[in-house]
Structures are given as structure tokens and as C-alpha cells.
Structure 1
Amino acid sequence: MKYVAVTACPTGIAHTYMAAEALEQAAKDAGDELQVETQGSAGSTPLGAETIRDADAVIFAADVGVRDRDRFAGKPVVEAAVKQAINDAPGLLARAAEAAREPVADPGGPQAEDAEPALASKVEAGSGFGSRLRQWLMTGVSYMIPFVAAGGLLIALSFALGGYQIIDAPPVTEQFDAASLTDWAALANQIGSAAFEFLVPVLAGFIAFAIADRPAIAPGFVGGAIATTVGAGFLGGLAAGLLAGAVIAGLNRVKVPRGIAGIMPVVVLPLVGTLVVGVLMFVVIGKPIALAMAGLTDWLTGLSGANAALLGALLGAMIAFDMGGPINKVAYTFAVGGLSIGGTTSLEIMAAVMAAGMVPPLALALASAVRGSLFTPAERANGRTAWLLGASFITEGAIPFAAADPLRVIPSTVVGAAATGALSMTFGATLRAPHGGIFVTPLVGNPLPYLAAIVLGVLVSAAAVLLAKRLGRPVDPAPQAAGTAVSA
């Protein structure tokens, strides 16, 4: 059999490539041919038209919309989440082989004309609403993360160089001395702040894009910008993106004369969509959402003591539970949203989330090094890589272990990450950088207690994993095979 596949995860970093490797190894083991297009953060090399034409079936392992999906029209398609490809690549290939034996509707027939063109390139039209909503939101988050990383790290660097008072520095367009470290700090702060101003518009714009493709980008971006203007923040951005996508998807259903159809995507849809979304955001829903954001800000500001520790534990558990999946992204997006709100509690939340996110891979790296006999050879090899991944705040480094033994690994890492999150909040550690892991420790407020929280969480998780492995049944050949396939 000949297959082609596309893998894509919200961040486009770890899951995307791990799924591709698992599929390639499973195809090699089965004696099949498979070529994968990884739509990751570094871009992708598209599959050739001839390769797609010769394929017996297509596999989409994606948690976000697949770009240029119409290339695969007329081919049998199997869709799955990225984790399904990592955990059970042979099962996906079996589904693809079964799909290849089924007849496929003529892409030029009535079915294609009646399909939703706005959804065809992003999310399968027949998917359940919950699945589509998750992919729409994850698409927006995936495009927002580069702005978060660039802007947040520049702002954090500016504080390291010039202190927190650097936010009061005059604009560098009016005053800049290349020989002054303070002016360079001000420059980094103002560039990072400019990048942060795009967060909500980018989130809204690409949620809308995921729903209704390119015509929805302008209404989404404008709606997100208005959300920032009226103080609706991230909640307003989410609402604006969903609203813009819904408006454009609805307008796409309107039958228009053939002469007008040609200008609909580039003129009519963006114009009407932007007008409708702008009016609704300014006049109807913007202010109520802004009041909700103000309430959230007040709640965060008022957190202290046990309440703060409980929040840190909850966010830490969420970060570790699916290791880069939707629940992880909810916690991370919540923390990043707090950076734009400001305040000490918001910075404490960011520190707790990053500290907790480092725990799962570091704990499993430690456990596999201390008691290697409890792990498969593939897991021990993954453990050596997990040291760097964990230190870099790439929680996905723990996925090979969780895929091979989820019932023991996931609860163990959740316990340690929750402990780290609670301790970090209790210690009052703060962080303005949204990424970087252990390498941004110089930018952490109260760094020694922060590092102590990470170490304690890693020890708790490692001990829990080893205890669960020893009390459970011995590792059998099936998990070993699964671990080998994931780590290939």
C-alpha cells in the first residue's frame, strides 16, 4: 500500500514530528510506503502532486486545521488526533487500508458542490461541533504562540537589562543612545510590547480563518483589535474570532450572481464581515466581555495564600495531564493572558505554569536513569532526550513514556506537576517570560524557591512513577513495541 499523511499540532513543535516518526516506522514495519508532510512551526515541504495521486489513502493526524486540504480531494481520508498517531500508528494504517477499499464519491459531483467550502480546507465538515470548535481555537492559539514567545522574551530581557522601571522610558524614536544599556533595554521593551499588541488580533484572526478561510481573516483581526480597544482582552478575542468566522461562513451560503461571485472573497465578504463584526464588538458584546475581564483581573489580584496554591495546583495538573494537548494549552493560554493583564499574581501564574510544565519530562528522565530496568530500551533512550526537552519547557518530551504506559505515567506526572505549581505560587515566584524553561531563570523573581519547587515536583513524580512501575505488572512486549514505535 502507498499512503500519504499530514501531521499538525497547535504549537507545531514536538507532537507534529513525533506523530510523523511513529507513522513512518509503522509503515516500514508493515512493508508499506508512506510519505508525511509535517505542517510544523518551521514551515513544511508540501507533498508532490504525483505522490498524492499515487497514494491509496490519506491520513490526517492533526489537532488543528490541515492547510491546503483540497489537494487531497477524491482520496480516501482517515482523520485522527495527533496523539492517536503517536499511540497507535499501526491502527491508523489499518483504518487507512480499510478506507482505501471503500468507494470514494466523485469530487466533482453534487456532494462537493453542496459541501461547506469554508470548512473544507480546515476542518472536516462532518465532524462533531465539539471537535471542530477545539480545532478552531487551537488554530488561533498556534498562530499566536510565536508572538507570545518573541514579545514575552523581549520584554523579560528588557527588565533584566533595565529593571522594571524601564516601562516608563521615553519612546526610542525620541531618545536613543546606542552606547546606553538602558536605551537598549527600552528598545527591547518597546519592540516586545509592540509584539504583544498583536496577541488578541492574531488569536481572533486565525480562529476566524480556521472557520471560514481567508475571507474571514480581516473581520477576525479587526474584531480582535476592537476587543483590545474596549478592554475585552483574550475573552473578547475568542468571541471576535468565533463571531467573524460565523458571519463569513453564513455569508458564504448566500447565492449571488456569477458576475459578483468573483469579487466575493476579496471585496464583499471582508467588507461586510468587518462591518458586522465591528458593529457587534463596539456596540453589543464588547463592553459586557470587558466587564467579565475586569472581574477576572480583580479575582486574580485578590488571590493569596491557600487560594493561590490551589490555583497553582490546578494549572500544574492541567499542564501535565495531556502534555501539550488541548487541556495543556488552556492552562498555558490562561497564563499568557495574565501577562497582558499585568499584576504580581499574573506573573506568579506564569511562573507556576512554566515550572509545572518542566516536571513531566524531567521526572521521567530521572526515573529512567535511576531504575532503567523498569523501562524499555526505547524509553531509556527517550529519557536521555527528555532532560533537554524538560529543561526547555517542552512538556511533550514525556509523551513516549505516557504512550507506552499511560495509567502509571500520567497520574504520577500530574501529582508532581500539581505540587510544583502549588509551591511556586506559595513561594511567590514571578516570571514575565512566556517560554524558555530553565534558561530564563535569571528573569525569575525569587529564583531559588522557584527552582526548589521544580526539584521537589520532579522528585515526587519520579518516585511515583517508580513506585507504580514496581507495584504493577512487569513490562511486557506490547508496551515495549509501542514505545519503540513512538520513539523511532
Structure 2
Amino acid sequence: MSVISPDLVRLDVDLGAGTTDVISGLARVVHAAGRADDATLLADAALAREAQNPTGVPGQVAIPHCRSAAVTEPTLAFARLSRPVDFGGPDGDAELVFLIAAPEGGGKVHLKILSKLARALVRGDFRERLRAAATPEEVVAAVDDVIGDLPATTPPEKTRIVAVTACPTGIAHTYMAADSLTQTAAARADVELHVETQGSSSTDALDPEIIRQADAVIFATDVGVRDRERFAGKPVIEAAVKRAINEPAVMIDEAVTASRDPQARRVSGTASTAEKKQELGWARRIQQAVMTGVSYMIPFVAAGGLLLALGFLVGGYDMANGWEAIALQHSPGNLPGNEVLVDGAPVTFDRSGLALYLGAVLFATGQMAMGFIVAALSGYTAYSLAGRPGIAPGFVGGAISVLIGAGFIGGLVTGVLAGLIAYWIASWRVPRILTSLMPVVIIPLLTSLVVGLLMFLLLGRPLEGIMTGLTDWLSSMSGSSAVVLGIILGLMMCFDLGGPVNKAAYLFATAGLSTGDTASMQIMAAVMAAGMVPPIALSVATLVRKRLFTPAEQENGKSAWLLGLSFISEGAIPFAAADPLRVIPSMMAGGAVTGAVSMALGAGSRAPHGGVFVLFAIDPWWGFLLAIIAGTVVSAVAVIGLKQFWPSRAVAAATVDA
């Protein structure tokens, strides 16, 4: 099948003064030759492609090209212009113009034509042959010599999609979303999918060549995408990470559609441009920024909290009374006794020697890590809103919050403020000489100054009052008030199983750990225990009443108990996604019971994560376990009862009795 014929050639013609005129003229030529149903649609597709990147090439040649539903067969139209037109080529206006028009579902035809033609146009003899041609037939012969015939049919082309998944903790949702997308794409013949998981364990970055070849991008994230600029210019589908778990096929379909739409929204290349503002809206952006701050804060909390717990385990539970003096005044060659001078007064510890010294070192390291949590929360919240220029002002604001006693509430406020102010300053039009100084000097300087003035002169005292009031209220809790708080936290932990509400409760608990007071440790224990219940309860339920669950749920139940014991609430997501009306209320009931029992028994945790594997940091450990058992029983009974007396059609259709 020849892609060019004499009726597709125009010699020494004036098609107009601009690219729009020339492309529209060649589209009419293709339509007149019977190879396109609609000249306007074809021209629009080619002009949309031209708007992305000019198609001028060396030798005063242009190669506009596109795929369009208006095209009926692969076609190459040619014009030798009497009035050259600027197509953005490196050596002046184009005299020779080829329009490559391929059917929308025509595989890689236009790429084959383009590659062969581009190689030929590098040769001066081929260009001169086109310039010297006296008839359209001579042009056709010259082109056929370098391109030749193409197959009448080509196999359908796969849509190449790349995806990034990321959640605030980077533990479960990140990888579940990736698996959901990958498994769905693997079952389709028309899609080739590659996923980059930006999780806490590691990030296996996509090959730059795979990104370059991609037709569309999926961002399934609750936090900012790292190195977003790699995907600049690609059509993008962007949503929360849970949507990729619940609706992977829909997201892939949307990405395929976007890849064929010249007007589809495209990756802006940065996390702080006006385009992204329009894409997400400020409410969504601020929520995502806070989740990003939480994501970067959690490693400080996890490392610091566990080191504090190890310090207590090794050095004794009175370690908090003199860890700094022990760590700084002693060394492996000068080990402390059981009595140490702290601020000039002797303090007696129940341990001595190497155990006491190592415990103090572990505790001191943990304290330093915990000291960064508010600054990290603030700094990376600002980073998500404004990019790198927001990091320094955000950290400064977080440090000021700690200094004036505003705590994590102040850190949230300063992070959002610093990000918005830095974003605003970055939008200023400044003289060219200042452009390079903006991100590294001017924006951080001005933003830090404004945030500092706002905190010291206006916001600091009210935020400090709120934090002090919250701390006093937590410290004064006992009896029924503590139980009520436990119920609320348990409900929050089980409402969306790792989503924003769950993360809000977890942030409330972990931020309080930095104070070291008893009430904060009890809140941490209640939150962790409630978050462990859903996967364990569902695992038990699938074991006790197997026939009430689908085969897929039965398989998930075999591993969900381990996720629950590790405090990974997301292990319950497959169950909740498949049957939310029965699963989520049941889990919330168990979470509420767990939170209430944990608070009532006064269980406290010095560790922010780890589940049963950090029992050494929980006191009393038996109260913690009892709360989990109580909540597990309630949730398992509730979900079995709801599924028994309100049967699921999906289960009836898919379950095979054991």
C-alpha cells in the first residue's frame, strides 16, 4: 500500500502565510484524495500536535504529523511552497512540507513513516531531488524510494502508560494500588503499564526511556509526586491512591482516552505551577500538602519513638530523669554508676554501667530525632505547596512553633503559610538578573521573614494557648472522658482504614509523643490497638465463617492477621472495597471498643508503630492485648452477623463452599 500518490502532491504553491494555513491546506488535499473523512478534524489534530513542539527540521523542511479518527488510511501529503513558512526550523522558513496523517487506531504507521522520512531528509541529495522535481510523479518516485510500501494492515498499537503510586506512610496503600493497576493492565491486550512505587521501603524509579515513550501517566497519590518534572508534557490522570485500588480499570480507561486527546490535561513538570493550582484546586492541594508533611514526618517519629523505647528497655524506665547528663558526662571508658549528678544533684538509677550508658545514648538519639518532627511536618508541607523554595521557610516556621510552645498545631499552620507565601512570591515578575536568585535566596529569605513575623507578632500566642489547652486537657483526662476519647480515636482509625481520617488520628497521637507525658502515650496505645483490629478481625471472620466471603477474600484473610499484628490497617482494604456497607461499620464498632478498653485500662505506648512487636515499649502490655482481643471479637461477630443476615450478592455468585 503506497502512502503517497500524485494527487497528494502540490508543487510551487502558496498555501498561506502561516503554519495554520499550510497544515489546513494539506489537510484539504488529503480529504480531496479520499483519504480523510473530514479535513477540519485532520487539520485540528495536526495543529494540536504542532502546538506542542514545532516540526521544522534542518534543510528548510517541516514534517507536521498526527493521528486522527478522520483519516481512513496512512497518508503522506507534500507541498513545495512558493512562499516559505516558519515551522520553527533551525535554519529558516520551510520550503518543503510533508503532512503525515495516520488513522487513530493505525498502530505505529505514522512513526514508521516519520522515522524513514527523517532519515532520508538528512541527506542533501534527497532534498535536492524534491526541489528539482518537475512533476508530482517525480516526487512520488523519490519518496517511494526511501519509504516504500507499508503493510495494508498493522497490528493494534498498545497504549503505553506509566504510573506512580504513593500514600502518606508509604507502607500499604502505595503497593496495593500498584498491584491493582498492574494486575488489571496485565489482563488487557491494548495496554502496557509500568508502575513506580514511591514507598517508604524503596523507590524503584522508572527508566527515563520508558517515561519518554509513554502515551499517558497515572498519578495515584495522596502526597506530592517526587521528581514530577520527569513526566512533563504527558497526558495525566490524577487521583487519590485509594481510587487506584478500588477502580483500576476505570483509571486505565481514562488514561487510554487521555493519550488520544490533544486537549487532555498534561503534567506541568513542577508541583507548584499555576497549572497545578487549576488541576487540583487549593483545598485539595492543601490537604495533599499536609499529607506530604505527615509522610516525611513519620520516619522521624518512627525512628525517634522506637529509639526512646529501646532506651527505656536497655537503661531502665527512669532514663528520662537524666539521659542527657549520662550521655554527655560519660563514655565507654568512663561508665556511670547507679548514681549520676544531674544539674548538680545526685540522682539514683536502678541500673548502672554499660546498660545505663547505652540506654542513655539510645534515648538521646531518639530525643534528637523527635525534636525534628514538628519542623519536618512544617517544612515538607511547605515543600509540597511551593517546591524546594518552601523547605527552608517551612523548617524555620516549625522550629519557631517548637520554641514558642505551639507544637504540631503551629507546625501545621506554619507549613501551610510558608508554602502559600513562597508560592505567591514565586509568581512575581522580577528583572531577569534576579531570576536565578529567586529560588535559593529571595523566596526563602522573604518567606522566612514573613512567617517569623507572623508567628512572633500575631499567631504565636494564640497557637501556644491552643496547644497548652489541649495538653492540659489530655493530662487531666481520666475515667469516662478518657474512654470517650478512646472511642472517638478508635472510630477514626477504622473509618477509612489508612485514609485521611485514619491519618489525622495517627498524626494526633504521634505528635503528642514528643511531649513524653502519660496521656500522650495512652493515646498512642489506643490508636495503635484500634488500627490493628480490622485486619485481624477479618482474618478471624474468614476462618470462622468461610462461606460468607468470596474466594479472593478468603485468600486475603490468610495473610491479613499478620498485617494486623504489625499495625498495618490497610490489610482490611480489600474487604472494605468489596463490601463497604457491611465491613466498615463492623470495623468501626470494634475500633471503638478497642480504644475505649485501652484508655480505660491506662495502656500506654512509647513506640509509634510496630504492633505486638513492640510490646516491650507498652505498659501494661496485658491491657493493650486485652483491648485488641475485645475489639477483634466485636468486629468479627459484627461482620459475620451482617453478612449472615444481609447476604451479599457477590458472595452468593462467587463463593464455593469449603
Task: Choose the corresponding residue for 1:144, options 297, 314, 317.
Answer: 297
What is the match of residue 244 of structure 2?
Answer: 85
8 Å Cα contact 2:586-2:638 kept in structure 1: yes
What is the match of residue 58 of structure 1?
Answer: 217
Distance 1:105 1:442, change over 3 A: closer
How far did residue 101 of structure 1 move? 2.5
8 Å Cα contact 1:122-1:211 kept in structure 2: no
Distance 1:118 1:59, change over 3 A: closer
Report whether the alignment pairs 1:27 with 2:185: yes
8 Å Cα contact 2:235-2:264 kept in structure 1: no
What is the match of residue 176 of structure 1?
Answer: 331
**Equivalent residues in 2 for 1:166-315, closer than 5 Å:** 166-169=319-322, 170-177=325-332, 180-315=354-489
**Equivalent residues in 2 for 1:85-164, closer than 5 Å:** 85-104=244-263, 119-120=272-273, 125-164=278-317
What is the match of residue 383 of structure 1?
Answer: 557
Runs of 4+ in 1 over 6 A off after TM superposition: none
What is the match of residue 592 of structure 2?
Answer: 418
How far did residue 122 of structure 1 move? 11
8 Å Cα contact 1:67-1:122 kept in structure 2: no
1:30 aligned counterpart, secondary structure = coil
Distance 1:410 1:479, change over 3 A: farther
Higher Cα radius of gyration: 2
1:58 aligned counterpart, secondary structure = strand
Q: Which has the higher contact order (CA 8 A, sep 6+)?
A: 1
Distance 1:477 1:370, change over 3 A: closer
The 2-side partners of 1:479 and 1:75 are apart by 41
The structure where helix makes up a greater share of residues is: 1
Task: Choose the corresponding residue for 1:357, options 516, 531, 542.
Answer: 531
How far did residue 279 of structure 1 move? 2.1
8 Å Cα contact 2:216-2:236 kept in structure 1: yes
The 2-side partners of 1:162 and 1:132 are apart by 44
8 Å Cα contact 1:66-1:122 kept in structure 2: no
How far did residue 144 of structure 1 move? 0.3
8 Å Cα contact 1:122-1:210 kept in structure 2: no
Bigger shift: 98-107 or 138-147? 98-107
The 2-side partners of 1:124 and 1:373 are apart by 48
Task: Choose the corresponding residue for 2:203, options 26, 33, 44.
Answer: 44
What is the match of residue 464 of structure 1?
Answer: 638
Distance 1:463 1:122, change over 3 A: farther
Given residue 139 of structure 1, which amino acid in structure 2 is its aligned partner? T
The 2-side partners of 1:123 and 1:328 are apart by 26
Give 5+ residue unaligned stretches, structure 2.
Answer: 1-158, 336-352
Bigger shift: 41-50 or 470-479? 470-479
How far did residue 352 of structure 1 move? 0.5
How far did residue 62 of structure 1 move? 0.6
RMSD across aligned positions (CA): 2.1
Distance 1:396 1:124, change over 3 A: farther
Given residue 90 of structure 1, which amino acid in structure 2 is its aligned partner? A
The 1-side partners of 2:179 and 2:433 are apart by 48
What is the match of residue 170 of structure 2?
Answer: 12
1:119 aligned counterpart, secondary structure = coil
The 1-side partners of 2:315 and 2:654 are apart by 52
8 Å Cα contact 2:550-2:650 kept in structure 1: no
The 1-side partners of 2:496 and 2:264 are apart by 36
Given residue 45 of structure 1, which amino acid in structure 2 is its aligned partner? D
Given residue 101 of structure 1, which amino acid in structure 2 is its aligned partner? R
The structure where strand makes up a greater share of residues is: 2
How far did residue 43 of structure 1 move? 3.1
The 1-side partners of 2:431 and 2:551 are apart by 64
Which string of whole-angstrom CA distances, capped at 9 and with x for unpartnered residues, describes residues 101-142 of structure 1?
2214798xxxx9xx8965249955421222111101000000
8 Å Cα contact 1:67-1:121 kept in structure 2: no
Distance 1:72 1:213, change over 3 A: same
The 1-side partners of 2:301 and 2:394 are apart by 18
How far did residue 478 of structure 1 move? 10
Bigger shift: 45-54 or 409-418? 45-54
Identity of aligned residues (%): 53
Given residue 153 of structure 1, which amino acid in structure 2 is its aligned partner? L
The 2-side partners of 1:449 and 1:223 are apart by 39
8 Å Cα contact 1:66-1:123 kept in structure 2: no
Given residue 592 of structure 2, which amino acid in structure 1 is its aligned partner? A
Aligned residues: 475
The 1-side partners of 2:467 and 2:302 are apart by 23
Bigger shift: 66-75 or 31-40? 66-75
What is the match of residue 405 of structure 1?
Answer: 579
Task: Choose the corresponding residue for 1:369, options 532, 537, 543.
Answer: 543
Bigger shift: 67-76 or 151-160? 67-76
**Equivalent residues in 2 for 1:444-483, closer than 5 Å:** 444-476=618-650
